[in-house]
Every structure is written in structure tokens, then in C-alpha cells.
Structure 1
């Protein structure tokens, strides 16, 4: 399924884009994962927001991108989400490929660190990420730090 990709700094997001990305994040990270946590964490203003839209304009995939020094010493990708209605079409892979390309376009080639849910370790390894350090619980979900050099 082809998507149209756009990346915006926070201040450049339209109100409908902001609403759609917050709605997607809430649907995936709060409702689907039954995890009560503060998604609006105060970091969105420092991020670039990667949006993947269908031909009809529906937000199907999203990720938040940070420069080095914001979340980790390295650049980082977070809040990686594919809307439930659009899963099983390879969009997670498209999203990560686009996120990596956008990080390189924004900040040049450099290491990227992520905090990944443990069950997705092999998925991220497919993009060159390797686990660093021990696992940890975040909001009751097993996570690991992963680094791509």
C-alpha cells in the first residue's frame, strides 16, 4: 500500500495534522496497549513529525524524530505507530525506512538510538539496530534500548 510521506516541525503542523497524530498515538499506545500514560510529554515541540497518509488522506503511520542530544546522545525515533486498520500491509517497514531516511536528510548520517518494545527486537534488527544494555519496564511494558551505528 503506497503512502504519501511528509515531515513537519511541530510549529508547521496544521491543527488537523496534530489532531490526527495525537488520535493515532492515543489509539495505539493508550487504548490498544491498555496503558495509562502521559503521551503528551512536553517533547513534541522539539520533534519532527513523520506522517504517512493514504490516497484518501487518512493517517496510517506516524513516527516522532529527534536530533542528537534531545532524547539520547544520538538522534532518535519514537512513537512509531501504524494504525490498526492499516496493519499487515508492510507499513511498519515503510515507516522505519522513511524515518531513517528523514533522520539522514535532517541531520546527516549518524547513529540513532531507540527505546523499543522487547517483542519488536528482531523487527528493528532488520534495520541495523542492536540491543545496548539491559531491558527495562516502561509503563508496565518490557523495553530495550537499541542503537544503529
Structure 2
């Protein structure tokens, strides 16, 4: 599915942008999931809002929370601040075309570009576990209920580059010794061959 992606701070959102974002979030997280909860929170003010448009209509959305505003912590690294991705949604008419993967890929790339090589944390609904694992996220800890829906903390780690050790070059001294030894053995074999020929001829 071909979409246009835009990313804006809260202050850059127009009133029309904000209306469609909140409408989509309410439609997916409140109505579809039959979950009465307070979707609008104070975190929105400090987020980046990633919007997927098709023919100028909002079809997908997520928000990116910077490390300095992110209350979520990794269980393995509780003192480490990292960016988070949340409120990930694709409207029902546009699902099944790979848009969620495109949306997450854009969000991950933007996190890397803006916040550097830091792990990224999410609070994933467990029915989407395999989807997020396919993007490289690793579950941490036990499942838990949030607004009566089962979730799990997942972290996308930074893959460290493994340095391949180059084989040691043989020192010139070592190679010189081997060359001399081989030359000596060849000389001995040559002399023995000649001695053998002389013996046969006499």
C-alpha cells in the first residue's frame, strides 16, 4: 500500500490533524476494543506524531515519545532512558496490506535518526507479539493487564557489530626461516637423488 508519511510535533498539528488523530485513536482503542479508558493524556504534548495518509485521509498513526519524556523503563535496564513508540494503529479498512509494518519501520528509523542508537521500548498488546518480534522487538518480563487488555513490555535492542579478527600475518623472520628450511630439505633430497644415481651407475 502506497502512503504518504508525515511527522509533526504537537504544536505543528493543525486542528484538523488533531481531530482525525483523536477520532482514529478513539475508534480503534475505545470502540473496537470495547475499552473505556482515557486515551488523551498529557504525554501527547511532548510526542512526535507520525501520520500515514492515503489521498489526504488518515489511515494509520503512531506517536513517538522522546527518552526525556518516556515513563516506560526496560526491566533489564531500569535506569536507562530510551524512546518509546505507542498508540500504533491502522484503520480497519486498510489492514492486511503491510501498512502497520511500514508505519513501524518509519517510526523506528525516525527514532534512530533523532535519538541516536538507543534501544526502543513499546508496551505491546500480546496478540501482536509475533508481529513486533518480526521487527526485532524482544519481550521482557511477564504479561500484565492495562485497561483490562493483556500487554507485555518489548524492547528493540541495538545490535552490536561484531569485529572479525584478521588472521595474523606471518612475520618476515618466520617466513624467512621456513624458506631456508625448505631450501635445505630440497638440497638434501637433491644430493640423495644424485648419490642414488651414481650408486646405480657403478
- TM-score w.r.t. the length of structure 2 is 0.72
RMSD over equivalenced CA pairs, Å:
0.8
Runs of 4+ aligned residues of structure 1 deviating over 6 Å after TM superposition are none
Mapping 1:61-80, distance limit 5 Å: 61-69=60-68, 70-72=70-72, 73-80=81-88
Cross-structure match for 2:122: 114
Find the partner of 1:97 among 77, 101, 105.
105
Find the partner of 1:144 among 121, 141, 152.
152
Q: Is the partner of 1:88 in helix, strand or coil?
A: coil
Cross-structure match for 1:22: 22
Post-superposition offset of 1:122: 0.7
- Cα distance in 1 between the residues matched to 2:113 and 2:137: 19
- Cα distance in 2 between the residues matched to 1:109 and 1:57: 32
Post-superposition offset of 1:109: 2.0
More helix by share: 2
Higher relative contact order (CA closer than 8 Å, sequence separation 6+): 1
Q: Is the partner of 1:12 in helix, strand or coil?
A: coil
- Cα distance in 1 between the residues matched to 2:11 and 2:30: 25
Cross-structure match for 2:57: 58
**5+ residue gaps, structure 2:** 73-80, 158-202
